[in-house]
Amino acid sequence: MRLQGSNILSRKQVDLLKKTRLNFVWFPKDFERIYQQQYRQEAAYEFRYRGMIIFILYLYLSFGIYQVLPKDHVWAWLSYYSWVGVIVLAAWMMSFIKKFTPWFDHYVCLGSALSVAISFILVNSLEGIKNTALLHTAMMYAVIIIYGFVGLRFYTALIAGWGGGLLGLLVSKHLNADIDWTLLNRTYTFSSFLGMSLAYFTDRQHRENFLQNCIIEHSHLELVQQAQQLSKLSQLDALTGLANRRYLDEVLENEWHRAIRYSSPLTIMMIDIDYFKLYNDALGHVQGDECLKRIALLLSTVTAENSDTLVVRYGGEEFLLLFPRTNAEEAQQQAERLIKETHQLAIPHPSSFIAPYVTLSIGVATMIPQADERISEFIISADHALYLAKRKGRNQYQITNNQPTIARAIAE
């Protein structure tokens, strides 16, 4: 029986269950509910095959009994024992109907109990043929099949086996039958304890397999999470937590083709921290790293309003921002805001030639891509705009959008 694992419990809890609860063939409430749900589905599916085998065994045993019974008692016996076949066929057909699957334990348990009760009554109550060896054999087969072959869980099988026997005993008493307890103990009682052992170890084995599959499920989830984490780490810059150039290549490729398909504008900004080498020389690389982190956080915060914006650490002190569906006017507003926010951040820069605090130079490229244009040319245009911004005094932005270059500087 194939049972899928579950991750409702932690791996540690599953290991604890394997050590402490298997002997009781019962799990904690929520976990038991999940196990039973899966068990019923698999047991109902398997009963589609087992039910027919059980019916064939029933026919074979019935034929054997028919051959040895006195002819004048055949119909009396058949009027009772044929109901066992009806019960087996009914349960077998119900196993094919999915809406009955959640009730598999109930209808199979009831059918099994009735089969045992009928066999019990025949053994003790049918005049002229009671205590026939084959009838006892039929009852033993019924008990063993119920415990070991029908697919009931241990406690449900107990209810079916002993409940059916109790029902048969009550009916036999009601009919004033002369019960041979010695023979019953050697047949019904013995087969019941043997069947209980089979049902117990089968149920225990199924539960152990289920817990093992739970561990496998946890291992699978851990591998998936690790793979996702590794994939995420491979796309992030270790220092700033921003996306790296590898991830930029993937996203920019997709956004480029989308912009071509929908004829929408696309903007990128190349950003450089002014005189960052002098900053490192004056304050040290530790402070330099902190400066990069603060600028990275600023860029992420300022652009957070647009969920499509991608902020990338492009290399060293350079950053790249990707703005899908953003035209030149909107790009200009973003550039002005970034420079203004950087001024307000006021990170001291003792070695800058243009301001007492850290400033940015920004090169902006905006265009509606065409099919015959290349992404590399787009990036080169932004890089060229950044070069112009630095050449013209830094602490400013330059925008190019296939029009004459626009230059803007923020006054000190």
pLDDT in tens, the chain (412 residues): 666 666 666 666 777 677 776 788 878 887 888 888 889 989 999 999 999 999 998 898 888 888 877 777 788 888 888 999 999 999 999 999 999 999 999 999 999 999 999 988 888 876 555 556 777 788 888 888 888 889 889 999 999 999 999 999 999 888 888 888 888 888 889 999 999 999 999 888 888 888 888 888 777 787 888 877 776 667 888 899 899 988 899 899 999 999 999 999 999 999 999 999 999 999 999 999 999 999 999 999 988 888 789 999 998 999 999 999 999 999 999 999 999 999 999 999 999 999 999 999 999 999 999 988 999 999 999 999 999 999 999 999 999 865 434 444 443 3
Q: Which residue of the set 317, 336, 341, 377 is catalytic?
A: 317
Residues of each domain in the chain carrying CATH 3.30.70.270: 245-409
- Kind plus residue range of the DSSP H or E element containing 316: none
Distance, in Å, from the CA atom of 272 to the CA atom of 275, rounded to the nearest integer, reads 9
Interior/surface letters 282-303, b for 16+ CB within 10 angstroms, e for the rest:
ebeeeebeebbeebbebbeebb
Residue 12: per-residue pLDDT: 67
| CB atoms closer than 10 angstroms to residue 380 | 12
182: Cβ contacts below 8 Å, ≥ 6 apart: none
Structure tokens, 253: 């490729």
pLDDT at 37: 87
For domain 245-409, the question of CATH label 3.30.70.270 is answered with: yes
Whole-angstrom distance between the N-terminal and C-terminal Cα of the chain?
A: 77
How many other C-beta atoms can be found within 10 angstroms of the C-beta atom of residue 275? 22
Q: What does the pLDDT read at residue 408?
A: 45
Closest C-alpha among 363, 367, 361 to residue 394: 361
Q: Distance (Å, rounded) from C-alpha 388 to C-alpha 392? A: 6
For residue 49, the tally of other CB atoms under 10 A from its CB is 11
Please report the pLDDT score of residue 8 as a whole number. 64
Q: What is the structure's pLDDT at 127?
A: 57
CA angle 68, 70, 74 (to 5 degrees): 90
Catalytic residue status for 377? no
Q: Which residues pair with 406 in a beta bridge?
A: 399
Q: Is 370 left (phi over 0), alpha (psi -120 to 50) or beta?
A: beta
Pinpoint the alpha helices (H) of 149-244.
154-174, 181-184, 190-233
> Per the structure block, which two tokens stand in for 131?
């205590």
What's phi and psi for 177, nearest 5 deg? -75, 150
Distance from C-alpha of 408 to C-alpha of 412, rounded to nearest angstrom: 13
Q: Rounded CA gap, 9 and 48, in Å? A: 32
Bridge partners of 315? 318
Report the number of secondary-structure helices (H) and strands (E) in the chain. 13, 6
CA dist 8 and 344 (Å) reads: 49
Both tokens of 122, joined, read 């025949």
Instruction: Record the pTM.
Output: 0.59
